[in-house]
Amino acid sequence: MKRHQSLHPLSRDHHHALVQARNLSLAAAANDSDKLAQAAARFAGFWETDLQGHFAQEEQIVLPLLAKHASPESDEIRETLRQHVEITRLISELNGKLARREMIEANLLDALGEALRRHIRFEESEMFPKLEASVPEEELERMREQLETERSRTGQGGCALSPKRQATED
């Protein structure tokens, strides 16, 4: 699917998050306590270094722009925020179990992976097209600049764009 260039960094982030979601599902399917614990720890790190910042960028930059040009009450905004809350709740549960050194259940990782996949599909198929259709080109370009500035400021560089992350993933 052809995306406006302003959304390319977010779509690349989504690709990396889908890889993480698949890893969670594979670990859940194996249902081996060591694999579950390893997958949980890797995902907790991904949340801390990448996904949490991605959610913040969407909530602080992308969604306000959509609200300005579509409606603050749009289904796309409400659903994106609802999904962010659901995923954050599952991650909090996972982090709590990790902190208490409790056994990680396969169903938690499976639920988290599935929630993340659903979220990405929603954003790519509904929220991003609504944004592209509603927001003027000049403002999409300003959004891209804001995202780049925020990613540089936080040192995140973006989930998919950080040279440090790319070097470790190759």
Question: Where do the domains of the chain lie?
Answer: 5-158
pLDDT band at residue 72 using 50, 70 and 90 as cut-offs? confident
pTM comes to: 0.88
pLDDT band at residue 157 using 50, 70 and 90 as cut-offs? low
| Mean pLDDT, range 63-78, rounded to an integer | 93
User: Quick one: pLDDT at residue 167?
Assistant: 36
User: Quick one: pLDDT at residue 112?
Assistant: 98
* Beta strand segments in 60-134, E: none
Each residue of 138-147: pLDDT tens digit? 999 999 999 9
Residues 6+ apart with CB under 8 A from 91: 43, 44, 47, 112
| Mean pLDDT, range 37-56, rounded to an integer | 96
Question: Whole-angstrom Cα distance, residue 1 to residue 170?
Answer: 25
Q: Which CATH architecture has domain 5-158?
A: Up-down Bundle (1.20)
